[in-house]
Amino acid sequence: MERDRQEKKEKKKKKMKKIYLILALSIFMISFASAADWDNIMNYNEDSDTIKITNMFGLGKDLAMAQLEDNFCNEGRWCEADKEITLYKEGILIEDFKTLRIDDGSYDEQNIRWHKLEYFGIIEDFNNKCNTKTTFNKINNTYYNNTICEYIKVGEHNGWIEFKEGDIFESGTYKVRTTGEIKPGRV
């Protein structure tokens, strides 16, 4: 009888462990799903040239906002666009760079021959500082020079810093420039 009671307790314990495991995995999967980007919604406001990205399952939490500040093409093929992008949490600044054809109103995705992505930020300046010490070798009566060089920070300045698609940035507001070459005649 005592043995039956022990077996029932053990079965109940195992059952509870399974329930807790399923519950823990469910919580993990919910957090994993809310961290994914497949549920993100992108809205474009044509009046303000603003794109807003919101997480749908995160109950409408804003993830990023981008506003076009300047957009032009030289000779109908060398294009540059400046925009301000705000990340509300750490994330990818530009994940998948695309260009759209707007001259004919189709908004079709266009191939771009090459492109460069940059953000305006602080660039550290360094100089090489070398010290040479002359040493006498008593064994063979010769002198030799031992030079030690260091890369020393001497200041900083603001400028354009190149980055790649998929690079992760801290939350904040960034001035971003995209430059590229499109097919001649397409704006």
The answer to whether position 161 is within a domain reads: yes
pTM: 0.65
Per-residue confidence (pLDDT) for residue 62, from 0 to 100: 87
Q: In Å, what is the CA distance from 153 to each residue of 8, 47, 128, 158, 160?
A: 71, 45, 9, 15, 19
Residue 187 domain flag: no
Do 94 and 71 belong together in one domain?
yes
Q: Please check whether residues 45 and 26 belong to one and the same domain.
A: no
Whether the Cβ atoms of residue 72 and residue 56 lie closer than 8 Å to each other: no
Clarify whether residues 57 and 137 are in a common domain: yes
Flag whether pLDDT at 131 surpasses 60.
yes
95 and 127 in a single domain? The answer is yes
- Asked whether residue 28 falls in the same domain as residue 58, the answer is no
pLDDT above 60 for 107: yes
Is it the case that residue 1 has pLDDT exceeding 70?
A: no
Cβ atoms within 10 Å, residue 82: 17
pLDDT of residue 31: 39
**pLDDT tens-digit map of 24-61:** 444 444 434 445 566 788 888 888 888 888 887 656 78
Indicate whether 102 and 58 sit together in one domain: yes
User: What domain range is 69 assigned to?
Assistant: 40-182
